[in-house]
């Protein structure tokens, strides 16, 4: 599963958490995001969940020009140890 559905306003930030389940797996997991709304980015350059952690706390940032959108589906992919897993969540960009 991906992070909880998130709402953000242009020019603001929103915190998200990505949780992973570890079963006989001890490698770092690198997260990538696809389908973020126009003008919305993940602020952190390092999107790695260390080998002994199960959660990454990240920050979404919307530019002042971010397009307003309701419930855009974003895919987050975790890759590590030769395996990949996808999760989805929705991001809405709402008027200030």
> Which is nearest to 16 in space by CA: 35, 37, 41, 52?
41
The pLDDT score that the predictor gives to residue 56 is 95
From the list 57, 53, 56, the residue with the least C-alpha distance to 22 is 53
Confidence of residue 92 (pLDDT cuts 50, 70, 90): very high
Q: Is 32 within 8 Å of 77 (Cβ atoms)?
A: yes
pLDDT in tens, 3-21: 999 999 999 999 999 999 8
pLDDT in tens, 24-51: 888 999 999 999 999 999 999 999 999 9
Token pair listed for 62: 């919307």
Q: Is the pLDDT of residue 1 over 70?
A: no
Count of helices and strands (H, E) across the chain? 0, 8
* pLDDT tens digits, one per residue of 71-80: 999 999 999 9
Give CA separation, 63 vs 26, 55, 81, in Å: 36, 26, 35
């Amino acid at each position: 599963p991906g992070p909880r559905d998130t709402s953000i306003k242009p020019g603001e930030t929103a915190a998200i958490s990505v949780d992973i389940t570890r079963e006989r797996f001890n490698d770092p997991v690198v997260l990538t995001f696809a389908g973020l709304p126009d003008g919305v980015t993940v602020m952190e350059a390092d999107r790695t969940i260390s080998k002994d952690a199960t959660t990454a706390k990240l920050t979404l940032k919307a530019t002042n020009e971010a397009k307003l959108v309701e419930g855009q589906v974003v895919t987050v992919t975790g890759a590590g140890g030769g395996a990949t897993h996808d999760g989805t969540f929705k991001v809405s960009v709402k008027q200030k």
